[in-house]
Structures are given as C-alpha cells and as structure tokens.
Amino acid sequence: MRILFLTCLFGVAGALHAADRPNFVVIMADDLGYGDIGCFGNESIPTPNLDALAAAGMRLTDYHSNGSVCSPTRAALVTGRYQQRAGVGGVISAANHRDTGLAVEEATFADVLREHGYATGVFGKWHLGYAPEFNPVRNGFDRFRGYVSGNVDFFSHIDQAGYEDWWWQDTPHPEEGYTTHLITKHGVAFIEEHRDRPFCLYLPHEAPHYPYQGPNDQPIRIKGDPGNVTGERTDIPNAYREMIVEVDKGVGEIVETLQKLGLAEKTLVIFCSDNGATPNGSNGGLRGFKGQAWEGGHRVPAIASWPGKIAPGTESDTTCLSMDIFPTLLDAAGIATPEGSAKLDGISLLPVLTQQGRVGDRTLFWETGGGTAVRRGPWKLVIDRPKKKKEFQAPEAPQLFDLSTDLGEKAPVDNPGVRAELEAALEAWRASWAGVPQRS
C-alpha cells in the first residue's frame, strides 16, 4: 500500500535518467551552535574540513532547524513538513516514549528517492521511534546502522534508560567503536558500495551532544543501570572541542571518498545542525540556547557544496529550514513534489544554491516546550516560556523584534499591525495540525 501511495503521490514521470541523477549526502551534527565552527566565526576549534566545504560551496547564514531540540527537527527533515504534522512536536525519550514515533503514514525523502531508483542509507542517530514500525528500514532506508535513542554513550552505546542502543537494520547489533568514527566508517563504505548507482546518504551525528566524550575516553554507562554513570569528563570545553574535531574529520573523509571515486561533481553535500548549542557551546552571540525559541535555539550553521553547480565561496541570507532539504533533493533529482493533503511545507532551495533565483518571504513557525516563534521577513514574534526548576513556566507576553537591525533580539519593537498579523498566522498554523496526536 505504501509503495502505491508514494507512486500516486509523487509520480514517476519527469525524474532524470539514472545516469544523470545526482547523489546526495546530508550530514547533520547534534547541538552544534551557530558559532561552533571556523567558517561561522569560531577561532578556537579547528574545523578545516568544514571550512573547506564552505569555501568550495555556499554558506547559508539564515538557516534554521525546524525544532530547537532533537526529534522534531529530524521529523521535519525527513518528511519535508512541519514536525507537528508527523506527530513529533517534542523529544521522543528513551524512558517515556518507547512505543511512539514518527507517524507511519508519513513519506520520507528516502521513501521517494528509493522509488526512483536510489540506494538509501542512514548511519547514526535516528531518534524518531524505538519500536520496529518506526525503524529507518520501515521508512524508506535500505540500510541502517546506528541508534534510535537521543542520548547514547559514545563507547558502550547504552542510552539514558540503560538500554543497549546500536542497531543493524531493525535488530540490536552491538559494535565496538567510538560513535562518530563508526558513523563515518559506515558512510564511506556505503558510498564505495554504491558508486555505480544514484545514492542518498544521511549521516546524523551524535556529537557534540552529551555525553561529552572524546575519542580517547572510556564508557560512562553500563547496560541495565541508567543511574550508574561514572567517569564523566569535568573539562567539558576540551571534550566538546574534541567531539567537533572528530565530526570535522569525518566530513573530510566523506568528501575525500567522493573525490577519490570521481563522484564529487555528481554529489550534493549538505551539512547542518539539528538545533542550537547548549550553554557549553557557542551560538555566535545570538540570544538563547537549545530548547528555546530565541535565535540561538534554532539558527544553526549550514553549508551546501556541489562542484560545478554551486559556485565556490558564496553565501546566501535566504531564510530556510530543515524541512526545505526534502524538496531540494527532489528538485535536484527532477522529481515532482506532491500536492493535496500530503503537500510539503518545505520549498526547494536549488534556485538559491545555484544562484538562479530567490525564495520569497514566507511565514515560518517554531513551537517547542521553551517557547513559540513566528517569522516573516525581518519580523519575528517570540512567546517565551522560561524554565525554572526543570519545569516550563506560563508563556510570557509576545515580543516583536526586527531582526534586520536587532539580530540579538535585545530591543522589542511596538508595531501592533505586524504583531496582529503574525499572531493570526500562528493561530491558523496551529489549527492546520490541531487534529494530529503528538507522540512525544
């Protein structure tokens, strides 16, 4: 049924011939802030490979994660729709949500690309459901090696609830190694195996998310005893730095593999983060952190590279979100996007990346436990929900900011007309998914 549904939804006409279809590599860091890498202003953490990727392609300086925490952004990225439509408005936790996940009726970019002849693989952090029906191999991916939780020991691969969480396809399958290295290793192997056919590779890293463990550290968790955490690093800044360095090295290995196999000019590579940094990282002077609706919670570094298609050393201030990646991949592959009830919320960024067009202003929305935001052009409405003693407080009064003159969100402005328009848009948006059960 799902195959027929997808064929009807997206069609098969119009796609490029197999020999002309580009490959796709989507790499996503975890909790990486706007100011955590060199090409976005960091001067203390060496990221030569990411800097080279940016120099060879385009920096997206107004790119945002759909959510300001893990699961929501991942749902939006793989479905091309607001995460609330897929029932993932919040984090799917190991302790409380083991029977919930991404709505099974949602189509992912892997579903669609596989229907059009692509090999599809994901290696790393899934975080969209624990039960078999939510597994990546049930959601369009041919291959999955990684973990389904969101907070896993980098060495023992034990999650925060004490479960062993390292999978091969839809079966737990332990594997020794540092998580970041394993993700890169399996990504390289997937490229090498599928060098002669179109492929889509999704590499969602865990780093630099907690637990803060560098490549030479030891496990801190043991199976079946989630409360027994020993040997944690106390020099968090150094551990955080080491984790980002290893992600950067992994990006270099992926790019080197593409170049070695003569695939670089046939491959669109996108790098991004799933949300802003915690206070342990850098959001580049932006207000707020992970979990909040302020810019620091969701404006994140993003890079796109495609030699011969994307001009080197370019940048764009187009406002874009995680959910735009799905339609961008389809557009690059010559596959039509759907209409009707399953219409994507995201839009293709291909004209922006190739500098052949611009994207008009959209009204965009963020909603998380820590607050709500609405953006239209330079205007941003923020409804903050402060957290005290681990509990979110009642929403504060809405505040309006003009990001063109106040990117730090320091000085609210009084514009009743704009505020009323954004508040009305927010209510209409909420009504559009009000009937969808939120599974987190």
9: confidence class by pLDDT, cuts 50, 70, 90: low
SS3 80: coil
Side-chain-facing half-sphere of 378: CA atoms under 13 Å = 11
Summarize pLDDT for 195-216 with one digit per residue, the tens. Answer: 999 999 999 999 999 999 999 9
- Asked whether 299 and 286 are in contact (CB, 8 A), the reply is yes
Alpha carbons 373 and 295: distance in angstroms, whole number: 9
> Across residues 164-185, what is the average pLDDT?
97
Taking 3-state DSSP, the helix, strand and coil percentages for the chain, each rounded to the nearest 5, stand at 30, 20, 50
Decide yes or no: CATH 3.40.720.10 for domain 2-360.
yes
Summarize pLDDT for 237-286 with one digit per residue, the tens. Answer: 999 999 999 999 999 999 999 999 999 999 999 999 999 999 999 999 99
Residue 7: the pLDDT is: 52
On the question of pLDDT at 4 being above 50, the answer is: no
On the question of pLDDT at 395 being above 80, the answer is: no
- Asked whether 300 and 32 are in contact (CB, 8 A), the reply is yes
On the question of pLDDT at 384 being above 50, the answer is: yes
Residue 13: the pLDDT is: 45
The sheet carrying 23-29 orders its strands as: 171-172, 167-168, 143-147, 119-125, 199-204, 23-29, 267-273, 303-305, 58-60, 314-316
On the question of pLDDT at 11 being above 90, the answer is: no
Exactly one of 64, 97, 116, 127 is catalytic; name it.
127
Residue 337: the pLDDT is: 87
> Across residues 345-353, what is the average pLDDT?
97
Percent of the chain clearing pLDDT 90 (strictly above): 82
Residue 342: the pLDDT is: 74
Alpha carbons 122 and 353: distance in angstroms, whole number: 24
Query: CA dist 70 to 8, 28, 30, 63, 363, Å?
Result: 31, 11, 8, 16, 22
What CATH number is given for 366-432 in this structure? 3.30.1120
Alpha carbons 13 and 232: distance in angstroms, whole number: 54
Alpha carbons 243 and 247: distance in angstroms, whole number: 6
SS3 48: helix
SS3 376: strand
Bridge partner list, 144 = 122
On the question of pLDDT at 310 being above 70, the answer is: yes
Of 47-51, 225-229, 250-254, 359-363, give the lowest mean pLDDT range. Answer: 225-229
Count CB atoms within 10 A of the CB of residue 103: 18
Residue 3: the pLDDT is: 42
SS3 210: coil
Query: CA dist 95 to 151, 225, 226, Å?
Result: 11, 13, 10
Residue 228: the pLDDT is: 82
Is it true that 2-360 and 366-432 share their CATH fold?
Answer: no
On the question of pLDDT at 2 being above 80, the answer is: no
On the question of pLDDT at 12 being above 50, the answer is: no
On the question of pLDDT at 63 being above 70, the answer is: yes
Alpha helices, DSSP H only, in 154-235? 179-193
On the question of pLDDT at 1 being above 80, the answer is: no
Query: CA dist 231 to 100, 225, 254, Å?
Result: 32, 15, 32
User: 19: exposed, middle or buried (C-beta count within 10 Å: 0-12, 13-18, 19+)?
Assistant: exposed
Bridge partner list, 123 = 145
The radius of gyration computed from the CA coordinates of the chain, to the nearest angstrom, equals 20
> Across residues 357-368, what is the average pLDDT?
92
Active-site annotation holds for 127: yes
- Average confidence score pLDDT of the chain: 93
DSSP conformation class of 280: T
Active-site annotation holds for 8: no
Query: CA dist 4 to 1, 7, 8, 211, 329, Å?
Result: 5, 5, 6, 42, 21
SS3 145: strand
Bridge partner list, 185 = none
Phi, psi of 64 (to 5 degrees): -130, 145
The alpha carbon of residue 156 and the mean position of all alpha carbons in its chain are separated, in whole angstroms, by 24
Query: Where are the chain's structural domains?
Result: 2-360, 366-432
SS3 172: strand
The alpha carbon of residue 130 and the mean position of all alpha carbons in its chain are separated, in whole angstroms, by 18
On the question of pLDDT at 226 being above 60, the answer is: yes
Residue 377: the pLDDT is: 96
SS3 6: helix
